């Protein structure tokens, strides 16, 4: 059971990484400054977790998701 939950949480982190990376690459492509870590965290808590397509992020430990965003920077 614990191993299954670790795999689920790893998937959550991967989704956050991919979303933040796509945002960063898009901004760089448009020559717009990239977002600071606190801006990405705000997006995570106020937009991504509340969207219908990513509401499942609420099941993951928030510290883990925040660490993923920190590692992207």
Residue 62 has pLDDT above 90, yes or no: yes
Euclidean distance between CA atoms 34 and 54, whole angstroms: 22
Cβ atoms < 10 Å from Cβ of 17: 15
Residue 6 has pLDDT above 90, yes or no: no
pLDDT at 2: 87
Euclidean distance between CA atoms 37 and 69, whole angstroms: 7
pLDDT at 53: 94
Length of the chain: 73
pLDDT at 56: 95
pLDDT in tens, 30-59: 999 999 999 999 999 999 999 999 999 999
Question: What letter would DSSP give residue 1?
Answer: -
Find the radius of gyration of the CA atoms of the chain.
Answer: 13
């Amino acid at each position: 059971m614990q191993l299954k939950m670790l795999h689920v949480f790893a998937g959550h982190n991967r989704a956050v990484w991919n979303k933040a990376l796509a945002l960063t690459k898009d901004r760089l492509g448009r020559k717009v400054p990239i977002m600071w870590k606190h801006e990405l965290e705000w997006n995570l808590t106020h937009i991504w977790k509340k969207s219908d397509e990513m509401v499942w992020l609420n099941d993951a430990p928030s510290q883990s998701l925040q660490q993923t965003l920190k590692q992207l920077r």
